[in-house]
């Protein structure tokens, strides 16, 4: 494994991917605010939107009705997943010309390790620029790219000059770049953690470096170790060509709020049937179930999740009888009408565990 400062990692992120495909296929949509997702009249959610819509404060995962209030002229488009998958396949075919170490994060986002790529004199910057050009010419959309010695910095860099941008963090620039980096850009730092850091007087990684690893663990638990490393630009994660699942879940947004716990529990069997359908075959692929979890989003958009270890009769692990107490506890945290329910399971990767055991023998 190459040390992180010798790696050449590219993170590619398509610009407003679903919306970009829609504008490519229907040029009349260009220049007007559009959102891809569910209808505002049917409790839909925005999957993505173009940059014209983002100027109104619209973003992914926003309720479609809220988006319509922010921009009355917003045009909603139903997703065409097969068109997006086809575009993604074309983009990944381009990636494969430069590396066999590709880690897809979604249809529109991936890491590439080009440390050993001989093309373009091995320049990761030139490779990233050529990929961007080829995607523009072949697929008809734009992508942004970040180039850096590790995955963390490459992902930050790809967002630096969006849309249609390229940003490079060279090994000798890492320390200065990270020192000025706002902590809210660190992977895993959400609103709650960012607010907690701010209360400690920490808004940049330079300020975060003042704290010892022990201090950060005391404040943030095991995530404190990760914060300590990221504040110094350290990320030893390799680009994983094959990503194994860690969980599987099903969610549903209801057209009418579920008014009571009884109404919530009535919808549980249908969610579990869908979860069981999606889970078919996974246990034969080297997975085992470790935990069950539920998600409840209330009508005011607050949400909660709750999970527990799976034990007992394997035949009952996905039955409503096993999920109902967990769902009841989650609902009682808000005890008000519900707009979304989710159920899922955490997965143990038996293949990875067996590999670790075999390695430990030698």
| E strand residue ranges, 259-319 | 287-298, 303-309
Find the catalytic residue in 109, 129, 274, 276.
109
Rounded Cα–Cα distance for residues 350 and 11 (Å): 29
- Dihedral class, residue 160 (left if φ above 0, else alpha if ψ from -120 to 50, else beta): alpha
Helices of type H across the chain: 17-25, 51-54, 64-70, 81-95, 124-138, 151-158, 174-179, 191-199, 205-208, 213-220, 223-230, 261-266, 268-279, 320-332, 350-361
Strands 303-309 and 34-37: unpaired
* Residue 80, burial from CB neighbour count under 10 angstroms (0-12, 13-18, 19+): middle
- 13 marked as part of a ligand binding site: yes
Quickly list DSSP for 153-179.
HHHHHHTTT-SS-EEE--GGGHHHHHH
Is 270 assigned a catalytic role?
no
Question: Which residues carry out catalysis?
Answer: 109
Binding residues for Mg(2+), as ranges, are 13, 108
């Amino acid at each position: 494994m190459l040390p992180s400062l010798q790696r050449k990692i590219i993170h590619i992120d398509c610009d407003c991917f679903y919306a970009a495909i829609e504008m490519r296929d229907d040029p009349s949509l260009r220049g007007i605010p559009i959102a891809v997702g569910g209808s505002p009249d049917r409790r839909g959610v925005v999957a993505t939107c173009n940059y014209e819509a983002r100027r109104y404060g619209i973003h992914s995962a926003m309720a479609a009705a809220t988006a319509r209030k922010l921009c009355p002229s917003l045009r909603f488009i139903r997703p065409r997943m097969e068109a997006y998958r086809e575009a993604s396949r074309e983009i990944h075919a381009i990636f494969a010309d430069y590396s066999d170490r590709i880690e897809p994060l979604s249809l529109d986002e991936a890491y590439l390790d080009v440390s050993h790529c001989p093309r373009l004199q091995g320049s990761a910057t030139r490779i990233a620029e050529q990929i961007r050009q080829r995607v523009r010419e072949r697929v008809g959309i734009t992508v942004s790219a970040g180039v850096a010695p590790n995955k963390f910095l490459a992902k930050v860099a790809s967002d630096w000059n969006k849309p249609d941008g390229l940003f490079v963090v060279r090994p000798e620039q890492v320390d200065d770049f990270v020192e000025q980096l706002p902590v809210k850009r660190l992977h895993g730092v959400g609103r709650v953690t960012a607010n907690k850091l701010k209360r400690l007087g920490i808004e940049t990684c330079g300020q975060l470096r003042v704290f010892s690893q022990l201090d950060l663990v005391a404040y943030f638990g095991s995530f404190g170790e990760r914060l300590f490393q990221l504040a110094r630009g350290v990320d030893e994660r390799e680009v994983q060509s094959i990503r194994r699942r860690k969980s599987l879940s099903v969610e549903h947004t209801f057209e009418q709020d579920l008014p009571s716990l009884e109404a919530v529990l009535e919808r549980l069997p249908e969610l579990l049937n869908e979860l069981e359908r999606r889970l078919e075959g996974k246990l034969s692929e080297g997975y085992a179930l470790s935990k069950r979890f539920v998600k409840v989003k209330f009508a005011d958009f607050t949400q909660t999740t709750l999970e527990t270890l799976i034990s007992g009769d394997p035949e009952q692990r996905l039955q409503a009888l096993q999920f109902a107490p967990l769902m009841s506890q989650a609902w009682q945290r808000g005890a008000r009408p519900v707009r979304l329910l989710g159920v899922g399971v955490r997965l143990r990767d038996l293949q990875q565990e067996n590999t670790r055991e075999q390695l430990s023998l030698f």
